[in-house]
Structure formats: structure tokens, C-alpha cells
Amino acid sequence: MAGTKSRRRGEQLEHAILDAAWEELREVGYARLTVEAVAARAGTSKPVIYRRWAGRAELVIAAWQHRAPTEHRTPDTGALRSDLLVLFTTIARRADAMMNEVVAGVMSEAFRHPEVAALLRERLVADSPLAGTVRRIVDRAVERGELLPVRLPSRVTRLPLDLIRNENVMCGTPPDDDVLASMVDDVYLPLLRGLAAP
Amino acid sequence: MAGTKSRRRGEQLEHAILDAAWEELREVGYARLTVEAVAARAGTSKPVIYRRWAGRAELVIAAWQHRAPTEHRTPDTGALRSDLLVLFTTIARRADAMMNEVVAGVMSEAFRHPEVAALLRERLVADSPLAGTVRRIVDRAVERGELLPVRLPSRVTRLPLDLIRNENVMCGTPPDDDVLASMVDDVYLPLLRGLAAP
DNA sequence: TCAGATAAGAAACGCAACGTATCTAAGGGG
DNA sequence: CCCCTTAGATACGTTGCGTTTCTTATCTGA
């Protein structure tokens, strides 16, 4: 720290910057994140950042990609309702308020620089492993006889994430357990049953 | 026009500013809207605007409130599916891409100035006449025998708007007829049927 | 009708943050 | 061991916010 003048390069430096950006996001959020602060935190300077990313939005998306995992472990509790509750809870924990502030902020930037919009959408749709997870949960419920066999349109497999993101965005806080339960009991379970009926 | 040096005041001036802000929104969007441009378009100056509203976000929300109507006419086509299609289409037409850019932009500002968040949420939840519309549509379907009697949680009555807003935000464009049809056929109708079944 | 209060309009400012240009020097590759 | 890439520092130009100051038109009320 004091005397370490070793100059980082390449990947090592890049990771340091992305980590710094992530920390900065967590502490002050997207709206207040400045490139200078990220540079300072990473112990480097603005030009180094601008040589790698075209702007603030790109940097933030990269940091996000660098940090946020996209895998789900498929819950297996032995019952459809509790599987869904675990799934919704997992998504909600990960898609916390900060992430939604990032989405909102990047989104508003996306209109100024259309190429950012593509990046963002790509990142958001990248969560499509969700579809497989939902299908596995439903398949097991069908095997147990909890549900009639059912075809799942992609709009339905995407719905958990859409509901949670929407709630996050509108309330500014991650949905609590009651809200998650209402998503499952008022919307998702009835929907699955309705899809199963002719 | 050329020589009219008459100085406007009070309501007349306020309306001129809000109209100018609205036009500016339509032409350049939220991200590129500047208070100076609004002032110029309204033929006035920045201080006049800042004497009335605390900032850009407040101004935009006021302009929006000044312009956007919130009433729905309940569709009555004689069948549940077509009623829903009309409803979804109406909402989608009104909640066009611009409006969503505004939501996104204001949202990102809302994190910097928390009092803005309240304004925004208020404005978005103000769309709750939707709940009544949905209930009327469903009641009529029940009367016709298309559906078993059903209790509608508020999460369900809000769902059309949530689905459409989400689509708008993710795609950047208003959902086309196919997408709207898939919302009705893949999600909303099955959901209603599922709610009706025990 | 006229005087004073009120608020519009204009110009300029300070500030913050973006994104860039210029320079020095570190350290890896030939 | 020299050179060439590029990290790191500094300073700059720009944009747009929100504010300040000042002048002057218009409204109000005695």
C-alpha cells in the first residue's frame, strides 16, 4: 500500500477495476457512481478505464457480468409449492434492490446510446437458464401427480423473474416473504393449474 | 408573435411550460431533455422553471400528469378473450415507448433524490382504475358462463400493466399484436381459469 | 391613477462529472 | 539491454444542472 509501486497490467488490472466498480455500485449505487471514484478505488486513473470501456454504462455492465452468477440450482423439496417458493426466494435474493437500480440507470443511458441497450438486454435475457429450472420443477410435480402434464410457453418460464424485477423496480426494495408467497399462490400456481386444464 | 412582448404569468405560463416539456419529451426523450431546452421552447427562462419545480424529474412528472389521462373504458365485446385483447391493446397503446423511457429515466433519478421515487410510484399506481376494469370484464365472463366465479387478488388485476411495462422496458418498443396475444393466451387466460378451479 | 409589490425574463456563475489529450516512466518482449 | 507498449498522473474542454443577481413588465390596491 505505502511503498508498493508495482504497476499492474492486463487481466490483473482489469479485474481490479471491475471489482472496484462493483464495490462502488454496492456502496453508492449507479446514479452516484462516477468513473473517477472507480479509478481512485482501483488505484488507477480514468484514461486506463476509458481505454477499455466506452463509457460508464459499459463499465458497469462489465462489472456486473464479472460478478453476478447466472446459474440456478434446481430446488427439490418434494412439493411444487415449496419448490416454487425456494425458486422465487433465490431469484429475489440475487435480484436485489441494487441490481434493479443498475438496470434502471443503465436503461436510462441506453436511450442516449442505443448500442448500450443491446448489451443490457443481452445481459437480462442471459438469465434464460431459468427456463430449464422451471421446467424441471414442473416435470417433477407432474411425475408426483401434483399437476397434469403441461406445455410451458417461454413467457411463462420468464414470468418469475419478470414479476420480481417489476416488484423491485416499483417498490425500491426487494420483495419480502409475504410478497413472494403471493406471487406463488396468487399468480404462479393458479397459472400452472390453468395451463394444465384444457 | 413577432412583436408580442406580453409577459405571461400564473396558470397560463405554467401550462406553456408543461406543454413545452411534453413536446420536448416526445421529440428527444427523457435522457436528452434539458431544462434549458424546455425554457427556450416555452419562451421563458430557467429560473422561472426552478421557481415552480425542484428539478428535472419533478418537471417531467408534472408534464406527464398534465397530459396523460388515466381513465379506461371497459371493453365489452361479448367474449372474455376478445375483451382481454382489447384491454391489453389499449394499455399497450397508451404505455408506449416514450412513456417507458420516461419511467426509466425518472426511476434512475429517483435513487438520487428519494422524494422523487414517491412521486413516481404514486403516478404509476394511480393506474389502479385498471383493477375495476379487470373485475368488470371477469364478472361479465362469469355471467355468460365462460368462467367459474373467481376471487381476484390485486396482484392479478395489476398483472396486465406489469406485463406490458416489462415488455416495453426490455424491448424498447411497444409490444406488437402477437406479443399481446401471447400475454392473453399464454398467461392471463390460463391464470383466470386456474384461479377459478379449486 | 399612480405606487409599490410581485414575479418574469436575461445573463452569468459555480459545480460536478463526463470524456479526452498530453506527458512521464515502468516493465515486458525482442 | 534497448524499445515499445501502456499504466498512471494531470490538466483540459464541454455539457448541463441548479443558483444568483439584476432589470423590468404587469398586477393590485389605495
Whole-number Å distance, CA A6 to C1' C29? 18
The pLDDT assigned to B73 comes to 84
Write out pLDDT tens, residues B92-116: 887 655 566 666 666 666 666 666 6
pLDDT at B178 exceeding the cut of 70: yes
pLDDT at B3 exceeding the cut of 60: no
A149: left (phi over 0), alpha (psi -120 to 50) or beta: beta
Closest chain B CA to residue A98: B111
pLDDT band per the 50, 70, 90 thresholds, residue B57: confident
Please report residues of B whose CB lies closer than 8 A to that of A117: 172
Burial environment of residue A56 by CB neighbours within 10 A (0 to 12, 13 to 18, 19 or more):
buried
pLDDT band per the 50, 70, 90 thresholds, residue B1: very low
pLDDT at A3 exceeding the cut of 50: no
Please report residues of B whose CB lies closer than 8 A to that of A170: 121, 124-125
How many of the other CB atoms lie within 10 Å of CB of A126?
Answer: 11
Average pLDDT of the residues of chain B: 84
* Nucleotide showing the shortest C1' distance to residue B42 CA: C9
B1: Cα separation from own chain's centroid: 35
Between B5 and A81, where is the model more confident? A81
The pLDDT assigned to A125 comes to 65
Question: What percent of chain B has pLDDT above 90?
Answer: 46
**Nucleic strand C contact set for B 86-115 (CB, < 7 Å):** none
The pLDDT assigned to A76 comes to 94
Query: Which single residue is written with the C-alpha cell 376494469?
Result: B133
DSSP code for B8: P
Between A30 and B136, where is the model more confident? B136
Cell matching residue A60: 458497469
**Cβ A39 vs Cβ A16: under 8 Å:** no
Between B179 and A173, where is the model more confident? B179
Q: Which residues of B touch A (CB under 8 A)?
A: 29-32, 101, 104-105, 107-112, 117, 121, 124-125, 153, 155-156, 159, 162-163, 165-166, 169-172, 182-183, 186-187, 189-195, 197
Name, in order, each residue with C-beta under 8 angstroms of B78's C-beta and a sequence gap of 6 or more: B144
- Domain residue spans in chain B? 10-66, 70-196
Question: What percent of chain B has pLDDT above 70?
Answer: 77
A86: Cα separation from own chain's centroid: 16
State how far the Cα of B101 lies from the Cα of A106, in Å rounded to an integer.
Answer: 11
State how far the Cα of A106 lies from the Cα of A103, in Å rounded to an integer.
Answer: 5
State how far the Cα of B141 lies from the Cα of B146, in Å rounded to an integer.
Answer: 5
Report, in this order, helix, strand and coil percent for chain A, each rounded to 5. 70, 0, 30
Distance from CA of A38 to the nearest CA of B (A): 18
Nucleotides on chain C within 7 angstroms of protein Cβ: 7-12, 16-22, 26-28
State how far the Cα of A187 lies from the Cα of B156, in Å rounded to an integer.
Answer: 7
State how far the Cα of A8 lies from the Cα of A35, in Å rounded to an integer.
Answer: 19
Distance from CA of A191 to the nearest CA of B (A): 4
Cell matching residue B105: 429515466
Sign of CA dihedral A147, A153, A155, A157: positive
* B32-38 mean pLDDT: 92
The pLDDT assigned to A34 comes to 93
* Nucleotide showing the shortest C1' distance to residue B57 CA: D17
Closest chain B CA to residue A121: B170
Please report residues of B whose CB lies closer than 8 A to that of A189: 194
Residue B34 beta carbon within 7 A of nucleic strand D: yes
B176: left (phi over 0), alpha (psi -120 to 50) or beta: beta
Residue B140 beta carbon within 7 A of nucleic strand D: no
User: What class does CATH assign to A70-196?
Assistant: mainly alpha
Residue A7 beta carbon within 7 A of nucleic strand D: yes
pLDDT band per the 50, 70, 90 thresholds, residue A175: confident
Between A72 and A183, where is the model more confident? A183
pLDDT at B2 exceeding the cut of 60: no
Whole-number Å distance, CA B55 to C1' D13? 26
Mean pLDDT is lowest, of B9-18, B105-114, B139-148, for B105-114
Closest chain B CA to residue A163: B162
pLDDT band per the 50, 70, 90 thresholds, residue A172: low
Mean pLDDT is lowest, of A30-39, A96-105, B10-19, for A96-105
**Nucleic strand C contact set for A 30-69 (CB, < 7 Å):** 32-36, 46-47, 50, 55-56
Amino acid at B143: E
pLDDT band per the 50, 70, 90 thresholds, residue A167: confident
For residue B65, give the nearest of B99, B42, B90 by alpha carbon.
B99
* B73-100 mean pLDDT: 86
* B112-138 mean pLDDT: 76
Nucleotides on chain D within 7 angstroms of protein Cβ: 6-11, 16-21, 25-27
State how far the Cα of B41 lies from the Cα of B32, in Å rounded to an integer.
Answer: 14
CATH superfamily of B10-66: Homeodomain-like (1.10.10.60)
> Which H helix or E strand runs over B36?
helix B35-42
State how far the Cα of A84 lies from the Cα of A185, in Å rounded to an integer.
Answer: 10
Write out pLDDT tens, residues A22-80: 988 888 877 788 999 999 999 999 999 999 999 888 898 888 888 766 667 899 999 99
Burial environment of residue A185 by CB neighbours within 10 A (0 to 12, 13 to 18, 19 or more):
middle
The pLDDT assigned to A61 comes to 83
State how far the Cα of B187 lies from the Cα of B160, in Å rounded to an integer.
Answer: 10
State how far the Cα of A98 lies from the Cα of B94, in Å rounded to an integer.
Answer: 29
State how far the Cα of A182 lies from the Cα of B1, in Å rounded to an integer.
Answer: 59
pLDDT at A100 exceeding the cut of 70: no
Query: Which single residue is written with the C-alpha cell 458497469?
Result: A60
State how far the Cα of B160 lies from the Cα of B180, in Å rounded to an integer.
Answer: 10
pLDDT at A110 exceeding the cut of 70: no
